[in-house]
Structure formats: structure tokens, C-alpha cells
Amino acid sequence: MNGKSKNTILIVDDERFNLNTLIEVLQGEYRILIAKSGEQALERLAVPPYPQLILLDILMPGIDGYETCRRIKGNPQTSNIPIIFITTKTTVEDERHGLELGAADYITKPFSPAIIKARVKTQINLKRAHDALEDQNRLLEQKVAQRTLEIALTRDIAIHGLAALAATRDYETGNHIRRTQHYIDSLARHLREHPRFRDALSERTIELLFKSAPLHDIGKVGIPDHILLKPGRLDEAEFEVMKTHSVLGRDALPCEENGSGTLPFLATARDIAYTHHERWDGTGYPQGLKEEAIPLAGRLMAIADVYDALISKRIYKPAYPHHVAVEMIEAERGKQFDPDIADAFLDLRDQFRKIAGQFTDTPDSAPYAGRLPA
């Protein structure tokens, strides 16, 4: 074994005879460091590299071995270094106290070279195995984190790909998708302090809302072109077909199971696609749900989607000014919209205008100019 591969042992003892004995027994196999007091030991341990094992006398002037051990174990940088007490104290109470402080073993004086070698070797091997396991755990955590990131990125790409596909067949644009994402995020974050919504709007839920929002009209890919692309208002029969896009959107998002129910992302996306045309007063579609029977995700998306439709230019209408859109939504408070969510929108009106300005439509971002959303 060459010097570079030797494990390091720190011996802490104020008696020269004990130090010489331990050095004589161990120096052939290990690199030895010496400290003659608890204070000196702590100084040596203040910076890396750290030893693989500490042999620590209990009875020393100044800081005794018990206190030195407590401080070593209290430092996250040194807490995993095994400590063997070397002592003349041999009562059960002494051993119990030392083990409670985090010591790994005891060696009693007078020393037996064979016992010293055996117990030191055991602790060094345990430390090596512990360090290897920690390295493997860190590597595994890195791999899991990387894989999780890859899955999330794949999911996000798939979401935007599906949403962009729907946009190519209708008036909606990629920027409509971005705007509605940020609208719903702003509403949710504002409402998370509201007593009605505090328990429902965790950080994880808000993230799911943001990620799922682009799929709110994915069902429109199933609407026939002569209805979806009609440059004018729909007749009653056509409108009935158009309304099926909410059901088609729900059905397009598979109800995958993870062993304990529908995956949260899919559940949120399905709620948004299926219920964002429901109305607070029960006159919406497809189910005619009323008030809190409408999932929160659908109620939030309802305002985000309508506001963006109002301020956007359509073939049959100009874009309404921001203040007009605000007035129209305010007029629907308690009718089309959850009153508390409508109030949150009114509080955030300036932020909505900023989001709209940040993600404005351009000729390149408008694949089709159609009609007021159905």
C-alpha cells in the first residue's frame, strides 16, 4: 500500500505514552495525525481533507473527549467521521454516554495491539462502505433528477406540439397559449391567499395549471373544417357540434393510472379542457354545472380564455380595448364567472394588460384568423 492510498487517522490524546503506543501500532498501515487537546483536534478538523477515523481520549484538560465528540458530530462537515473513544472509563454508564454522543466504539487502556488493529480496521471498512454508498446515492439522485427533467421537457414539448396543432386549425395562436398560461398563473397565485382557495392552490397545483393550460381547446382538432373554419357566426346546429370540442378535449387526454388514480397533470388538463365553458350560473356547457360543482381549473381558465378572446382581433370583430374587456368580465361576475375569481381578475387587470403586451400577436404567430370562441 503506498502513502497516497493510506487512510488517515487522527489521534487525540494529551499523554505522550498513549500517543507513542497508538502510533507504533498503526503507523505502518495508516497515515497518522496528532492532536494533544480537544481544541487542537477541532482546529485540525476546521478544514478538509478530513481523516477517515478519530481515536479520541476522554480525560483531557480543557475540552474533554465528550465535548469534543459532541462538537465534531454537530458539524455537518465532520459528523460522519467515526470516533473511537480511548479511555480508562469502563462502566456501562460511561459507554452509554459516549455512544449517545455518536461514538462508534470504545478501546480501553491499557491497550492491546490486536484489539486496536481489529477495531480500527472495522471502523475504516465501515467508513469506506458508507462513503461508497453515499457516492452511489448522490449519483442515483443526479440520474433521477436528470431523468425527471427529461420527462418534464418531453411532456412540455408534447403539450405545446398538441396545442400548436390545434392552433393551426383555428384562430388561436401560440401567443394565445402563452398569454392564457400566464393569466391563469397570475390568478392562481393571487387567489392562493384567499380562504376559499388556500387549500386548493398549492405550488404544485399552480404549476400543473400553468403546464395544462395550453390544452384547453385541444378538442377543436376534432371539429369538422366547415364548422371550425366558418368565417362568421354559427347556426344552432353548427354551434351544437362546436360545443362538443370540450368533450373531445377531455377524451383526447387519456386517463392514465399511476396505481393510485389519474395522474395529476392529466386530471388537471382534462378538467380544463372539459369545463372551461361551464358558467357559474349553470347555463354553460357541456354539463351545465353550477358554481363550485365546476372544477377550479375550469373556472380559472374561463376568465383567462374569455379575456384573451375579447382583446384579440377576429375576422368578425376588432380587438376590444382592455378597459372594455374588463367591463364586460365585471358585468359577468356571478353569472358566467365565479365572483371571487372575477374579483381577483379585477385586482390584476393591470397585470393582465402587461401580459397581453408581452406576448402580442404578430403575422407569424397567427395561423388563422377566425371567429369568437365557442
pLDDT tens, 286-339? 999 999 999 999 999 999 999 999 998 876 578 899 999 999 999 999 999 999
> Helix 264-275 and helix 203-212: axis angle, to 10°?
60
Distance CA 294, CA 276 (A): 9
**53-82 pLDDT, tens digit each:** 999 999 898 899 999 999 999 999 999 999
Cell of 286: 357541456
The predicted-structure confidence for 252-267, as pLDDT tens digits, reads as follows 887 655 444 446 778 8
The SS3 call for residue 324 is: helix
CATH topology of domain 168-365: Hypothetical protein af1432 (1.10.3210)
pLDDT at residue number 368: 31
Going from N- to C-terminal start, the domains of the chain cover 3-140, 168-365
**pLDDT tens-digit profile of 168-180?**
665 545 588 889 9
Residue 159 C-alpha cell reads as: 403539450
Q: How confident is the model at residue 155 (pLDDT cuts 50, 70, 90)?
A: low
Rounded CA separation 27/19 (Å): 11
Name, in order, each residue with C-beta under 8 angstroms of 124's C-beta and a sequence gap of 6 or more. Answer: 7, 30, 52, 53
How far is 267 from 16, CA to CA, in rounded Å? Answer: 71
* Least confident residue range of 58-67, 162-171, 224-233, 239-248: 162-171
Q: Do domains 3-140 and 168-365 have the same CATH topology?
A: no
Cβ atoms of 181 and 305 within 8 Å: the answer is no
Q: What is the mean pLDDT of residues 239-250?
A: 92
Annotation: CATH topology of 3-140: Rossmann fold (3.40.50)
Question: The whole model's pTM is what?
Answer: 0.59
Integer Cα distance of 192 and 127 in angstroms: 47
The three grid cell numbers given for residue 152, joined into one nine-digit string: 418534464
> 186: Cβ–Cβ under 8 A, 6 or more apart, which residues?
348, 351, 352, 355
Ordered strands of the 83-87 beta sheet: 31-35, 8-12, 53-57, 83-87, 105-108
- Answer for the pair 19, 46: CB distance below 8 angstroms, yes or no: no
